[in-house]
Amino acid sequence: MRIILLGAPGAGKGTVAKLLTEYDGSIQISTGDILRSAVKEGTALGKEAKGYMDRGDLVPDELIMKLMEERLQQDDCGKGFILDGFPRTIPQAEALKQLLAKLKMNLDFVVNLEVPRDVILDRLTTRRTCSNPDCQEIYNIKSNPPTPDGKCKKCGSPVIQRDDETEEAILNRLETYQEKTAPLAGFYERDGILKNFESIESQETVKKIKAALG
């Protein structure tokens, strides 16, 4: 499959993407995960991105497009991909359209995950993430807890709260989403490839996406 997952911070993009990878071997490409790994490893990209991320601002489009142009041409993308957290602005969506045309790739469709704001706020304050950059498994102390001593069930590393999970950064991320990313739904609706999914139960959402893929 080749799909984009749109949705507010905390809508469950990462959770749904990980479940979808079991469907047909398509890979999850999360710009957030790639950037957090770069920050942890202290690369030039990570150093440049960290300030934006900690405040809950978007990383500049040029940096993201450079990263994604390289990523989408790697061999493992041949199996299909689930774009999680990209594109996030109209310029990124336009650049992606050109890039996919150049690579002769079509999208199946764009999934827009719709989740009420109160549910989102609750999920973001209770999320925990595996600290291992190669794992980054997502947990939630209410709906999907890690081990009782706070370790990842997959790789055993400690789970942590992300640096952008302060109340101030969460509110800024939600505002930034409304201003810069929510307009992408209209962009893809005009292209005739948008599908909206009310997403309270991730497994149910995944079933509906698989049904839409046919």
Residues identified as active-site: 13, 88, 127, 162, 173
Q: Is there a cis peptide before residue 87, judged by omega within 30 degrees of 0?
A: yes
Read off the amino acid at residue 167. E
CA-based end-to-end distance of the chain: 10
Binding to ligand AP5, residues 99-118 (CB under 6 A): none
Judged by CB under 6 A, which of 24, 94, 198, 201 binds ligand AP5? 201
Judged by CB under 6 A, which of 21, 37, 125, 144 binds ligand AP5? 144
Query: Which residues 6+ apart lie within 8 Å of 191 measured at CB?
Result: none
Per DSSP (E only), the strands in the chain are 2-6, 27-30, 81-84, 109-114, 127-130, 138-140, 159-160, 194-198
Q: Applying CB under 6 A, which part among 40-48, 81-89, 98-106, 152-160 lies near ligand AP5? A: 81-89
Binding to ligand AP5, residues 3-32 (CB under 6 A): 7, 9-15, 31-32
1 vs 82 by CB, closer to ligand AP5: 82
Read off the tokens for 146: 């890690």
Read off the tokens for 1: 């499959």
Tell me if 146 contacts ligand AP5 by CB under 6 A: no
Nearest-CB residue to ligand AP5? 32
Tell me if 53 contacts ligand AP5 by CB under 6 A: yes
Distance between CA 206 and CA 113 in Å, rounded? Answer: 11
List residues binding ligand AP5 (CB under 6 A).
Answer: 7, 9-15, 31-32, 35, 52-53, 56-59, 64, 85-88, 92, 123, 127, 138-140, 143-144, 164, 173, 200-202
